[in-house]
Amino acid sequence: MYQSAQIGQPISANQLVGKTVTLKRPTRFYRVDDVNKLGDKATPVKNLLPVGYRMLIDSYLASGPGYTGNYYIKYAARSDNYLTFWGRDRVYYAIKGKDFSLDKKGREEAGVKTVVEEREEEQQQKKTTWDKLFEGFGKFANFAKYLTIGIAAVWATGYIIKQTKK
Protein backbone atom coordinates (compact mmCIF):
# COMPACT_ATOMS: atom_id res chain seq x y z
CA MET A 1 0.00 0.00 0.00
CA TYR A 2 1.11 3.52 -0.76
CA GLN A 3 -0.12 6.79 0.70
CA SER A 4 -2.07 9.69 -0.65
CA ALA A 5 -0.34 12.61 1.05
CA GLN A 6 -3.11 15.14 1.72
CA ILE A 7 -5.87 12.76 2.74
CA GLY A 8 -3.69 10.01 4.24
CA GLN A 9 -5.60 7.19 2.54
CA PRO A 10 -3.84 4.12 1.15
CA ILE A 11 -3.45 3.54 -2.57
CA SER A 12 -3.07 -0.01 -3.94
CA ALA A 13 -0.05 -0.73 -6.11
CA ASN A 14 -2.36 -1.94 -8.89
CA GLN A 15 -3.82 1.59 -9.12
CA LEU A 16 -0.34 3.01 -9.73
CA VAL A 17 0.84 0.55 -12.39
CA GLY A 18 0.50 2.07 -15.85
CA LYS A 19 0.13 5.63 -14.52
CA THR A 20 2.48 8.55 -15.09
CA VAL A 21 3.20 10.38 -11.85
CA THR A 22 5.11 13.56 -11.05
CA LEU A 23 7.32 13.71 -7.97
CA LYS A 24 6.51 16.51 -5.52
CA ARG A 25 9.73 16.18 -3.51
CA PRO A 26 13.29 14.90 -4.09
CA THR A 27 13.25 11.11 -3.80
CA ARG A 28 15.88 8.41 -3.35
CA PHE A 29 15.88 5.67 -5.97
CA TYR A 30 17.54 2.28 -6.51
CA ARG A 31 18.57 0.06 -9.40
CA VAL A 32 16.11 -2.82 -9.65
CA ASP A 33 18.99 -5.30 -10.09
CA ASP A 34 20.46 -4.16 -6.76
CA VAL A 35 17.09 -4.49 -5.00
CA ASN A 36 16.60 -7.99 -6.40
CA LYS A 37 20.13 -9.14 -5.51
CA LEU A 38 20.63 -7.33 -2.19
CA GLY A 39 17.09 -6.64 -0.95
CA ASP A 40 17.11 -4.22 2.00
CA LYS A 41 20.89 -3.91 1.80
CA ALA A 42 20.73 -2.21 -1.61
CA THR A 43 22.18 1.30 -1.62
CA PRO A 44 20.38 4.13 -3.38
CA VAL A 45 21.80 5.80 -6.45
CA LYS A 46 23.98 8.74 -5.33
CA ASN A 47 21.77 11.53 -6.62
CA LEU A 48 18.04 12.07 -5.92
CA LEU A 49 15.18 12.23 -8.39
CA PRO A 50 14.32 15.93 -8.62
CA VAL A 51 10.99 17.62 -7.90
CA GLY A 52 8.88 17.52 -11.06
CA TYR A 53 10.43 14.28 -12.34
CA ARG A 54 7.78 12.39 -14.33
CA MET A 55 7.82 8.63 -14.50
CA LEU A 56 5.59 5.87 -15.80
CA ILE A 57 5.15 3.27 -13.06
CA ASP A 58 5.29 -0.05 -14.88
CA SER A 59 5.35 -2.57 -12.04
CA TYR A 60 6.08 -3.06 -8.35
CA LEU A 61 8.22 -5.30 -6.19
CA ALA A 62 6.39 -6.62 -3.15
CA SER A 63 8.05 -7.21 0.19
CA GLY A 64 8.69 -10.79 1.17
CA PRO A 65 11.23 -13.49 1.91
CA GLY A 66 14.08 -14.35 -0.42
CA TYR A 67 13.41 -17.01 -3.03
CA THR A 68 14.79 -18.66 -6.15
CA GLY A 69 12.80 -17.84 -9.27
CA ASN A 70 12.74 -19.22 -12.79
CA TYR A 71 16.08 -20.28 -14.26
CA TYR A 72 17.51 -20.52 -10.70
CA ILE A 73 17.77 -16.75 -10.28
CA LYS A 74 18.00 -15.84 -6.58
CA TYR A 75 16.05 -12.89 -5.21
CA ALA A 76 16.89 -11.33 -1.84
CA ALA A 77 14.39 -10.73 0.97
CA ARG A 78 12.75 -7.29 1.07
CA SER A 79 10.88 -5.64 3.91
CA ASP A 80 9.81 -2.69 1.74
CA ASN A 81 7.59 -2.45 -1.33
CA TYR A 82 9.05 -0.75 -4.41
CA LEU A 83 7.53 0.91 -7.47
CA THR A 84 9.54 0.33 -10.66
CA PHE A 85 10.06 2.54 -13.70
CA TRP A 86 12.43 3.06 -16.62
CA GLY A 87 14.73 6.04 -16.15
CA ARG A 88 15.56 8.56 -18.85
CA ASP A 89 18.91 6.80 -19.20
CA ARG A 90 17.04 3.55 -20.05
CA VAL A 91 18.00 1.86 -16.78
CA TYR A 92 15.39 0.06 -14.70
CA TYR A 93 14.92 1.81 -11.33
CA ALA A 94 12.73 1.51 -8.24
CA ILE A 95 11.62 3.82 -5.46
CA LYS A 96 10.56 2.65 -2.01
CA GLY A 97 6.85 2.72 -1.37
CA LYS A 98 7.31 4.49 1.94
CA ASP A 99 9.21 7.31 0.16
CA PHE A 100 6.41 7.72 -2.38
CA SER A 101 3.27 9.78 -1.85
CA LEU A 102 0.83 11.65 -4.04
CA ASP A 103 -1.16 14.73 -3.17
CA LYS A 104 -4.79 15.02 -4.29
CA LYS A 105 -3.92 17.01 -7.41
CA GLY A 106 -1.24 14.48 -8.38
CA ARG A 107 -3.66 11.60 -7.88
CA GLU A 108 -6.28 13.27 -10.04
CA GLU A 109 -3.76 14.09 -12.78
CA ALA A 110 -2.58 10.47 -12.88
CA GLY A 111 -6.09 9.03 -12.57
CA VAL A 112 -5.25 7.13 -9.37
CA LYS A 113 -7.96 6.17 -6.87
CA THR A 114 -7.51 5.46 -3.17
CA VAL A 115 -8.55 2.10 -1.73
CA VAL A 116 -11.63 3.76 -0.20
CA GLU A 117 -12.64 5.22 -3.58
CA GLU A 118 -12.16 1.80 -5.23
CA ARG A 119 -14.42 0.13 -2.64
CA GLU A 120 -17.11 2.79 -3.01
CA GLU A 121 -17.02 2.37 -6.79
CA GLU A 122 -17.37 -1.43 -6.42
CA GLN A 123 -20.33 -0.97 -4.07
CA GLN A 124 -22.00 1.41 -6.53
CA GLN A 125 -21.58 -1.16 -9.31
CA LYS A 126 -23.07 -3.91 -7.13
CA LYS A 127 -26.20 -1.88 -6.34
CA THR A 128 -29.36 -2.94 -8.08
CA THR A 129 -31.71 -0.53 -9.79
CA TRP A 130 -34.06 -1.05 -6.84
CA ASP A 131 -31.32 0.08 -4.39
CA LYS A 132 -30.49 3.12 -6.53
CA LEU A 133 -34.17 4.06 -6.73
CA PHE A 134 -34.51 4.26 -2.94
CA GLU A 135 -31.06 5.76 -2.27
CA GLY A 136 -32.52 9.25 -1.90
CA PHE A 137 -34.45 8.24 1.20
CA GLY A 138 -31.23 8.11 3.25
CA LYS A 139 -31.71 6.31 6.58
CA PHE A 140 -35.29 5.44 5.63
CA ALA A 141 -34.32 3.68 2.37
CA ASN A 142 -34.97 0.17 3.70
CA PHE A 143 -38.25 1.25 5.31
CA ALA A 144 -39.41 2.84 2.04
CA LYS A 145 -38.35 -0.23 0.08
CA TYR A 146 -40.24 -2.66 2.33
CA LEU A 147 -43.26 -0.36 2.55
CA THR A 148 -43.44 -0.34 -1.25
CA ILE A 149 -43.11 -4.14 -1.35
CA GLY A 150 -45.87 -4.43 1.29
CA ILE A 151 -48.23 -2.15 -0.61
CA ALA A 152 -47.53 -4.05 -3.83
CA ALA A 153 -48.17 -7.38 -2.07
CA VAL A 154 -51.49 -6.16 -0.62
CA TRP A 155 -52.56 -4.80 -4.01
CA ALA A 156 -51.55 -8.03 -5.78
CA THR A 157 -53.40 -10.14 -3.21
CA GLY A 158 -56.54 -8.02 -3.63
CA TYR A 159 -56.25 -8.23 -7.41
CA ILE A 160 -55.85 -12.02 -7.33
CA ILE A 161 -58.81 -12.44 -4.94
CA LYS A 162 -60.96 -10.18 -7.18
CA GLN A 163 -60.02 -12.17 -10.29
CA THR A 164 -60.73 -15.54 -8.68
CA LYS A 165 -64.25 -14.47 -7.53
CA LYS A 166 -65.37 -13.72 -11.10
Over residues 93-106, the pLDDT tens digits come to 999 988 877 777 77
Is 25 a residue whose pLDDT tops 90?
no
The DSSP 8-state label assigned to residue 88 in this structure reads T
Q: In what order do the strands lie in the sheet with 2-4?
A: 10-11, 2-4, 101-102
- Residue 129 has a pLDDT of 73
Burial class (CB in 10 A: 0-12, 13-18, 19+), 11: buried
Is 73 a residue whose pLDDT tops 60?
yes
- Between 142 and 57, the higher pLDDT residue: 57
**What percentage of the chain has pLDDT greater than the value 70?**
87
Q: Residue 37 and residue 120: Cα distance in Å, rounded? A: 39
Mean pLDDT for the stretch of residues 24-35 = 93
Q: In what order do the strands lie in the sheet with 30-31?
A: 30-31, 92-96, 82-86, 59-61
**What percentage of the chain has pLDDT greater than the value 90?**
36
Mean pLDDT for the stretch of residues 101-115 = 75
- Residue 7 has a pLDDT of 41
pLDDT band at 30 (very low <50, low <70, confident <90, very high): very high
CA-closest candidate to residue 54, choices 23, 16, 9: 23
- Residue 11 has a pLDDT of 79
